[in-house]
Amino acid sequence: MFGDDIVVRARLVPPRLPRRSLRRRRLDQHIANAAECPVTVVHSSAGYGKTNALASFAATGGWPTIWASLSTDDADPVVFLVQLIAACRAVAPAAGTSALERLERMRHKTEDWNRALDSLLNDLVVALVDDTILVLDDYHLVDDAPVIRALVQHLIAQRPPRLHLLLGTRQWPQLTILPLLQVRQELCEISEADLRFTSEEIVLLFRDAYRHALTPVEAHRLAAQTGGWIIALQLWWQSALASSRSGPISLSTRLDQPETDQPNWPAEVRDLLFIYLAQDVLDRQPADVQTFLLRSSVLLELDAAACDAVLATADSSAMLHMLNRRGLFLTPLGTDVYRYHPLFHAFLAQLAATTCPDWLDLHRRAVAYHRTAGAGEKVLYHLLQLADLPAVAAELEHWAPDWLRSGRFTTVLDWLNRLPAANLAAHPQLLLAQGDAARLLARFDRALQAYQTLEQIAETQGDVRGQVRALEGKALIYLDTVEPSVADHLLRRAYKLVPVTDRSARADLVHLIAENRLNRGRADQSIRLHRLADRLDPVAHAYTPEPRIYLRLGQFALARQSLSELANDQATNLERQPEAHREVTVLLALLSALEGDGTAALTYAQQALTTAQQLGSSLFEAVARIRLGHALQLVPVPDLNAANRQYVEAMALADGFGIQRTKAEAYIGLTLLHGFSGNLPAARVAAQTGLELADKSGDAWTASLLWTALGAVGVAGAAPESANWLDTARAHYCRCHDTYGQTIVQLWLSIWHQRAGRLAEAADHAYQMLDLVGTHRYAGLFAAPSLFGPRDRLMLVPLLLAGRSDQRHAVQSQALLLQHFPAIAVDASIEHYHPGVTLRVQALGRLQITRGNQDVPAHLWQRKKAPQLLALLLTERNHWLQREQICDRLWPASDADDAEAQFKVTLNTLQSVLEPTRPPRTTPCYVRREGAAYRFLPSDGVWLDVVEFEARIDTGLHLLATAAPADHVQAQQELSTAIGLYSGDYLSEYLYDEWLQTERERLATRYLQAGTALAELWLNDNRLPDAAQLCELMLAHDPGWEDAYQLLMRIHEREGNRRQALATYDRCVRNLRTHLDVAPLPETMRLYERIKR
């Protein structure tokens, strides 16, 4: 048959995927979505895995696929069309016969090639019964051939309805029809950015394909070094394997280098990569393009103005646009600004250094150009390439102060690290900059070394000012890390060196000494020393107490006002140096946590963490993570696991920069977390470890907080030493005038005595607590759980009831009750008694009762009917039940007298379980009586999962119905919480009680409706695995829930997995027939037919 001698069949099948390859589900799904378009262009520079991505999709996407890998031979229209016909016959064996006959007749004639193509397309219109993919890979090899471009344009314009074209190419095609397709929304694009391996995919590649574990940090660095370029990743792995011949594979040392530097690979692997770039990329370019590529590699960033000035040309703009269109490893940085891929840049620069005669002159011209533009780092880069180290040092001395003021600490260190010690010694200001930058990045060993070198040089040269600056720098390290004992010695040495006449310098040091006293926990002494500094230099130092002083004195209103002013200053001052525990956001996070505003604390802590990571300061980050851990314990839905992770990560950071004292506050958080979770032994260990660190550093205030935390969780856990721990904390708070600390201690001492039955002592401490609350406005303690306050707010109610019974505190206490516990305040049956705990009732699944943080064990129920009585009262909680109704439902086989007797005993058992400390002849708080009727009717202090479950669903569905799509995140959160609450069918241990059936079925239906709505939201947000898992959960609960099958079919369709979508329909048909004996709904059938097409 004509054309058999032309066809190269090896190019008509997708290539086999490499043995060590990764199934990239993100990319498969992206291509699957794009394949729905009539035309998709997959374009990138060489080596980014276009072909593998298309081959992976062809193998797993579930689409019939026509594959044609093009070559330069296909620039001949006969070869192109014969190959195309042969490719199409893989899915349509009879297609193209008439087209081949036409080609044979016209092979040596100049006719319209479109007629042969039309004949093939007509055959495909008839033959294709399913949507089919046509892949033209390596299209760039024929894009410069006008006749082939015309054929492809005709193919696009006349394509059969079921044919979808995917073009794989290194450059954007010169097809004039593409803009029209874009306007019609009939064109999709998958770019180099989509093909790059992400950090997450690099982790999976090394784990699954290379059988080696990378940390997320290593993967991030590797992504930066390689640009996610798969060929570079493969060669990088080969280099690691090559180096392992003499020992174990070590990846971390290879990645510990600046991200812009060339990876430190073995020479043979690097040469292999450069040979690939030379032969497959550079050598294929015209001479003028090669020259521009080599000479422009002198620059780190490419824009037309810089290229024209440095290269002495006038056509750089057009050249850059052409290079970008042709996919020559240019990454856009902005409008008409680019950079070369790091590896391609390294290759070009290495080659240019040996082949361009004016290479050094280009660097000199670049220095002049960037100096005029004020681009300091670029000036330094080119001076370094010229090996002019004295000029680098002089330039750095000019730029370092500005960079430090603007928070560019890492930049300063990176450049200083490139200078030899001799150059730094000749510029003492650079040593000071090195120490300051390292200190602000929490690299304290390096900072100490720099300050020590500066001190030695200054002492040798008789430079007193330099000595003082060095000592002050070292002292600031210990002020930053709150180690007052060491800082005190250094500050005193510096103070003695300063001449008496230099009052300004002395005042500066006294302010630092005052801050150090604050770190010792003596806020009162700190204020006096700050005022002394004012007297030394009243003009330059108009002192306003810093917020930390107000915070440690318990003057929260003044602290917040001061922090607000500082926050406003910081918003307008871009040249500042955020400094760990002094930073406004971490202080506001702590203040909000102490006041009980967990949501605000979380916001401030997250802001602090973001800033710390942007600045690269590990000390700042450690403090921010600790404050984030505090906040996570206090938000409306506490996340204790996340809080614990934050504390652990903060302590790991402290180990990294070598300051153990930073861990002390983390141990405060862990003491509270473990203790309030019921793990008192772990809380003791955390508190003791933190106390050792605080005592060693001389930080008495932190030690007091640790004693307070230990006392608080001790009271909650009934530890006998609790009062002693609290008294230790109270003694210090009184000595340093911390009124907030005194308030917290009085609160817990009152609870301690109240629980022990010492009501007079409890009342006395409650009165003292109320006096402090009224004087210092700490009423927020009652509004929500605070850092050192009870996690269960109901623990505060007995204290307020005690205050309400005292004439002097009655009005204040009733006002607080009305504000924070209004239902209790107006409940006439509650006078002096309340259980003082929240009762948590879980009825979804098996019935579980929790008082405070203590689960009610099964043996306390004594009588089997007691929990069943509670179940009945919960089910009918909106109605009063007559005694006879209760007896009929729980003892239907007993006579009236026997049933009533059993009811009385059962009710007493239930009351004892729910309220074991209720005094005799006191009205119960939970199960109320009105004549012969009973009802579960607590005024406050009960959490019922059913109520929460329905409220979350109602809120979520209301948001879906009324809110804009942008606000659907809150709806997802509400519905997700509701789904999480559904642990099983309502009161599942009572399956055969008829009075439960209606409520059980109603709640199950609500669960399925909420799950359907949530899965739909997740599908719309492309959270396909989550949506699929939720659908499977719903089907496990109800195999006949057809909405879940519909969603699963759409999910698999979105994934590009048509086979699984169709299999889901078959499963739906079987289960509906088995469980309900019905056929699928019409909309399910229509969905099936659409996917099948």
DSSP 160-184: -TTEEEEEEESS----TTHHHHHHT
Ramachandran area for residue 13 (φ above 0: left; ψ -120 to 50: alpha; else beta): beta
What is the spatial distance between Cα 1015 and Cα 1024, in angstroms, rounded to a whole number?
9
Which residues are registered as beta bridge partners of 67? Answer: 135
Q: 3-class DSSP state for residue 133?
A: strand
Q: 3-class DSSP state for residue 863?
A: coil
Which pLDDT score is estimated for 602?
Answer: 97
| Tokens linked to 56 | 């992976």
Cβ proximity of 996 and 874 under 8 Å: no
Q: Which residue stretches of the chain have pLDDT < 70?
A: 1, 107-111, 242-266, 268-269, 539-545, 568-579, 966, 1093
Burial 846-857 (b: 16+ CB within 10 A, else e): ebbbebbbeebe
Which pLDDT score is estimated for 958?
Answer: 92
What are the two backbone dihedrals, phi and then psi, of residue 302, each rounded to the nearest 5 degrees? -115, 120
Burial 498-529 (b: 16+ CB within 10 A, else e): beeebbebbbbbbbbbbbbbbbbbbbbbbbeb
What is the spatial distance between Cα 647 and Cα 672, in angstroms, rounded to a whole number?
12
How many H helices and E strands in the chain? 53, 15
Separation in Å, CA 695 to CA 481, 483, 687, 698: 14, 10, 12, 5
Separation in Å, CA 302 to CA 227, 338, 748: 18, 5, 66
Superfamily of the domain at 409-547: Tetratricopeptide repeat domain (1.25.40.10)
Which pLDDT score is estimated for 1084?
Answer: 95
Our measurement of the distance from residue 365's CA atom to the centroid of its chain's CA atoms, rounded to an integer in Å, reads: 44
Cβ proximity of 621 and 613 under 8 Å: yes
Cβ proximity of 182 and 202 under 8 Å: no
Sign (positive/negative) of CA torsion 989, 993, 995, 998? Answer: positive
Which pLDDT score is estimated for 261?
Answer: 45
Task: List the beta strands (DSSP E) in 742-892.
Answer: 839-842, 848-851, 854-855, 881-882
Which pLDDT score is estimated for 1030?
Answer: 96
Geometric angle at alpha carbon 388, from 386 and 389, rounded to 5°:
135
Burial of 183 (0-12, 13-18, 19+ CB in 10 A): exposed
What is the spatial distance between Cα 292 and Cα 298, in angstroms, rounded to a whole number?
10
What is the spatial distance between Cα 549 and Cα 708, in angstroms, rounded to a whole number?
19
Mapping DSSP onto H, E and C, the string for 650-685 reads: HHHHHHHHCCHHHHHHHHHHHHHHHHHCCCHHHHHH
DSSP annotation of 779 reads G
**How many CB atoms lie under 10 A from the CB of residue 738?**
26
Cβ proximity of 850 and 840 under 8 Å: yes
| Tokens linked to 897 | 């007298």
Angle between helices 994-1020 and 968-981 (to 10 degrees): 140
What is the spatial distance between Cα 744 and Cα 788, in angstroms, rounded to a whole number?
7
Geometric angle at alpha carbon 724, from 719 and 717, rounded to 5°:
15
Enumerate the domain spans of the chain: 9-195, 197-258+268-276, 284-387, 409-547, 556-561+576-658, 659-737, 739-820, 839-940, 947-1092
> Among candidates 15, 370, 362, 325, which has minimal Cα distance to 175?
325
Which pLDDT score is estimated for 569?
Answer: 60
Dihedral of the alpha carbons of 172, 175, 177, 181, in degrees to the nearest 10? -20
Sign (positive/negative) of CA torsion 388, 390, 393, 399? Answer: negative
> Among candidates 346, 426, 357, 348, which has minimal Cα distance to 392?
426
| Tokens linked to 630 | 């505090």
Q: Which CATH architecture has domain 9-195?
A: 3-Layer(aba) Sandwich (3.40)
Which pLDDT score is estimated for 242?
Answer: 66
What are the two backbone dihedrals, phi and then psi, of residue 933, each rounded to the nearest 5 degrees? -110, 150
What is the spatial distance between Cα 489 and Cα 485, in angstroms, rounded to a whole number?
7
Query: What is the distance in angstroms between the CA of the first residue and the CA of the last residue of the chain?
Result: 34
Cβ proximity of 661 and 481 under 8 Å: yes
| CATH entry 1.25.40.10 includes domain 947-1092 | yes
DSSP annotation of 168 reads E
Write the CB contacts of 1076 (distance below 8 Å, at least 6 apart in sequence). 1040
Neighbouring C-alpha atoms within 13 Å toward the C-beta of 441 = 23
Which pLDDT score is estimated for 920?
Answer: 87
What are the two backbone dihedrals, phi and then psi, of residue 66, each rounded to the nearest 5 degrees? -105, 125
What's the full length of the chain, in residues?
A: 1093
Q: Would you say the CATH fold of 839-940 matches that of 284-387?
A: yes
The CATH fold assigned to 284-387 is Arc Repressor Mutant, subunit A (1.10.10)
- Read off the pTM: 0.68
> Among candidates 193, 142, 194, 131, which has minimal Cα distance to 165?
131
Which pLDDT score is estimated for 972?
Answer: 93
Amino acid at 11: R
Our measurement of the distance from residue 622's CA atom to the centroid of its chain's CA atoms, rounded to an integer in Å, reads: 16
Cβ proximity of 37 and 82 under 8 Å: no
Our measurement of the distance from residue 250's CA atom to the centroid of its chain's CA atoms, rounded to an integer in Å, reads: 28
Write the CB contacts of 540 (distance below 8 Å, at least 6 apart in sequence). 504, 507
Burial 953-983 (b: 16+ CB within 10 A, else e): bebbbebbeeeeeeebeebbbbbbbbbebbe
Q: Which CATH architecture has domain 839-940?
A: Orthogonal Bundle (1.10)
Which pLDDT score is estimated for 258?
Answer: 45
Burial of 497 (0-12, 13-18, 19+ CB in 10 A): middle
Tokens 């009929």, residue located: 888
Cβ proximity of 546 and 580 under 8 Å: no
Q: 3-class DSSP state for residue 445?
A: helix
Cβ proximity of 674 and 683 under 8 Å: yes
What is the spatial distance between Cα 727 and Cα 713, in angstroms, rounded to a whole number?
14
What is the spatial distance between Cα 797 and Cα 761, in angstroms, rounded to a whole number?
16
Cβ proximity of 67 and 87 under 8 Å: yes
| Tokens linked to 636 | 């409306």
pLDDT in tens, 125-178: 999 988 899 999 999 999 999 999 999 999 999 999 999 999 999 989 999 999
What is the spatial distance between Cα 493 and Cα 464, in angstroms, rounded to a whole number?
12
Ramachandran area for residue 1056 (φ above 0: left; ψ -120 to 50: alpha; else beta): left
